[in-house]
Structure 1
Amino acid sequence: MTGSGRHDGAMTNEFPEPEILSVNGVELEVFEAGQHNAGRPIVLCHGWPEHAYSWRHQVPALVAAGYHVIVPNQRGYGRSSRPADVTAYDIGNLSGDLVGLLDHYGYSDATFVGHDWGAFVVWGLTLLHPDRVNRVINLSLPYQERGEKPWIELMEEVLGGDFYFVHFNRQPGVADAVLDGNTSRFLRNLYRRNVPPAPPEPISLATAEPAPGEPLMSDEELAVFIAAFEESGFTGGINWYRNLDRNWHRLAGVDPIIHQPTLMIYGDRDAVRPSERLADFVPNVEVVSLDCGHWIQQEKPEETNQAILKWLDQQ
């Protein structure tokens, strides 16, 4: 990959070398820093279609603040395992991987940080394994209320069959092939800042002419993502979407309240909108909004670091 810094030198911003760990029946590619801060673990969970490297700006700041920083490529990504079975990517397995990471390092609990789909996993982890999470920091995706209908079923009714969440579920393999065949163009078009507000259409981005807005990262940084997905493909990550209704059923009967202290960071221009009922389900929440789009920690790294470190200091 190029995800490792050993092969192409693309890892920058003091990003650590990876190691492969066996946890929860799979292998995870994990980037770890600040071992000298043992006892203060913080786990950073990427979204879709991302990579552990999306946290490159946060790792050195958190290490300097005294944290043992653990950044996995979650299953389906990078050089982590990519099981063939779609159900291997449900919230039980994804959260189980994170519990396995804590067990590997000998921690009873940790602070978990998630962006986008990583936030969904952190919310789910906190519901399913509340004793393993001491604090929650999530970016972009607020807590998703479990309504009366499974999520994909509801989206199909409200947003139609072409909405990409629904498309990923109802037309298996189609989006995967389009994205795999246009990896560089897709990621280059997707990772942009100052983009006019519009509903996300990742499948269209894979074949579009240059997208609006400005590049989010340097060519060297983008090369890390491109090389990683050229090696792994997109199916593993898309399989997370294919478990949304399964997750809805899995979370039935679970206490729906997040009791841990929580920081929620929104981007003012993110297509993912804030939740009006966040405090109903996350009563111990503090909310911060930054002037950016969806890729919060990469668009506004310093502001994100300041918000996280200030909040952690207050806990």
Structure 2
Amino acid sequence: MEVLPDVPLPSSIRSRYVDGINGLRMHVLEAGFETSGRPCLLLLHGFPELAFSWRKVMPTLAAAGYHVIAPDQRGYGRTTGWDPDYDGNLASFRLPNLVRDMLGLVAAFGHKNVDAVIGHDFGSSVAAWCALIRPDVFRKVVMMSAPFAGTPSLPFNTVNGPARSAAVDPVHRELAALPRPRKHYQWYYSTREANGDMHRAPQGVHEFLRAYYHHKSADWPDNRPYPLQSWSAAELAKLPTYYIMDLARDMPATVADEMPSREAIAANRWLPEGDLAYYSAEYQRTGFQGGLQWYRCGTSGAFVPELQTWSGRTIDVPSAFISGKQDWGTYQRPGVYETMQTRACTKMIGCHLVDGAGHWVQQEQPEAVNRLLLAFLGEAK
């Protein structure tokens, strides 16, 4: 078995492996393990991140009396047992199976329920579906940086008029036809080429990730988000190029334009070079395809029928949303931020946009995130 270097963690967090989790050997970071009987918090990272993304949050939550668990999710980091092949088992990455992963992990630690599941970016989607499918286990939910749109609808009242077949979304053709031709990053991430583009980036994985994290952070001065009016090419083209890319460019070329200076890198306190080196070493070792499979499950449309099993269901446990005030992710799908608050979640306690944070809110502003999480956990009953 490959011997990997230690994860650079605070002394109150330990790294361990848990076998037999829905076919996975899951790598987990754990805090608050010193005493038994603590309520559990489950923290779920997004792309392109790892359980390591929660290193600044876990000690404070553990100090407040929680058993805090943060896994490298299926497709990521030091968790093994998933298929890394583009032509492999895509269905294993669909949302209900990711929920099954988390149910297995919680049970393995001897918890019948968790006080809250907290997810960031794509982990926000998994957290939302955990709370929707198994509210008896996941008793509260915090979604971060990616609002929840609700469940997909079933074709309705079609007995006398068959439902229209799902057509290819015309927005992609319209984006490509703009005077400055564009493409949506999630559909780029679904291409066969995307993993190789990033894994073999001309600037190297480390420099690629530095530019990517910078471009989506509050350090990039043009991250000044606002709600878009519609899911249309003209409106989507207002998004930064890390979301709506130039048609002919890949992601490494896109973010290279915004690479911070050496002085800015040296001055970065929320992601110093030593922390970034852990991310880059892990992605250099594994590639990016495991995380990209999640996007493919969404863009293919193949797994929507399964999600329609829960059509009309809402998230009825106490919920909250936290994002960076400088994070375009809140608005990247027009109307979803509002839908989450008005229809998808019935017990939403608060939505918080943290100033001085872009997309990586729990890394950029961990103190503010810790305050908001503890306030939510104390208030939500």
* TM-score, scaled relative to structure 1: 0.89
Q: d(CA) in 1 for partners of 2:143 and 2:175?
A: 25
1:278 matched to which residue of 2? 340
1:312 Cα offset (Å) = 0.9
Does the CA-based 8 Å contact 2:327-2:358 persist in structure 1? yes
Q: Which amino acid aligns with 1:86?
A: L
1:247-289 per-residue CA deviation (whole Å, 9 max, x = no partner) reads: 4322103143000001111211111125112221112111111
1:155–1:27 CA distance, 2 compared to 1 (3 A): farther
Map 1:1-315 onto structure 2 (within 5 A): 7=5, 10-12=8-10, 14-35=12-33, 36-81=35-80, 82-83=82-83, 84-110=88-114, 111-146=116-151, 153=169, 156=172, 159=175, 162-169=183-190, 171-172=191-192, 174-182=193-201, 183-192=205-214, 193=217, 194-195=219-220, 196-197=222-223, 198-201=240-243, 204-207=250-253, 208-211=256-259, 215=268, 216-244=270-298, 245-254=301-310, 255-274=312-331, 275-279=337-341, 280-285=343-348, 286-291=350-355, 292-315=357-380
Q: d(CA) in 2 for partners of 1:240 and 1:190?
A: 19
Percent of aligned pairs with the same amino acid: 28
1:131 Cα offset (Å) = 2.1
Unaligned runs of 5+ in 2: 154-164, 177-181, 224-239, 332-336
Q: Which amino acid aligns with 2:50?
A: H
1:153 Cα offset (Å) = 4.2
Q: d(CA) in 2 for partners of 1:138 and 1:151?
A: 30
1:86-107 per-residue CA deviation (whole Å, 9 max, x = no partner) reads: 2211112111100101111222
What is the aligned-residue RMSD (CA, Å)? 2.6
Q: d(CA) in 2 for partners of 1:151 and 1:74?
A: 32
Does the CA-based 8 Å contact 1:15-1:53 persist in structure 2? no
1:298–1:79 CA distance, 2 compared to 1 (3 A): same
> Which of these two proteins has the greater Rg computed from alpha carbons?
2
Q: Which amino acid aligns with 1:252?
A: Q
Does the CA-based 8 Å contact 1:21-1:30 persist in structure 2? no
Q: d(CA) in 1 for partners of 2:56 and 2:132?
A: 28
Does the CA-based 8 Å contact 2:152-2:307 persist in structure 1? no
Helix, strand or coil for the counterpart of 1:87? helix
Q: d(CA) in 2 for partners of 1:116 and 1:210?
A: 21
1:165 Cα offset (Å) = 0.8
Does the CA-based 8 Å contact 1:11-1:221 persist in structure 2? no
Does the CA-based 8 Å contact 1:268-1:289 persist in structure 2? yes
Q: Which amino acid aligns with 1:264?
A: F
Q: d(CA) in 1 for partners of 2:30 and 2:284?
A: 24
1:123 Cα offset (Å) = 1.1
Q: Which amino acid aligns with 2:369?
A: T
1:8–1:136 CA distance, 2 compared to 1 (3 A): closer
1:256–1:221 CA distance, 2 compared to 1 (3 A): same
1:185 Cα offset (Å) = 2.0
Does the CA-based 8 Å contact 1:49-1:237 persist in structure 2? yes
Stretch of structure 1 that moved more, 298-307 or 184-193 = 184-193
Unaligned runs of 5+ in 1: none
Q: d(CA) in 2 for partners of 1:9 and 1:88?
A: 27
1:62–1:150 CA distance, 2 compared to 1 (3 A): farther
Aligned length, in residue pairs: 310
Helix, strand or coil for the counterpart of 1:253? helix
1:53–1:94 CA distance, 2 compared to 1 (3 A): same
Helix, strand or coil for the counterpart of 2:75? coil
Q: d(CA) in 1 for partners of 2:136 and 2:313?
A: 15
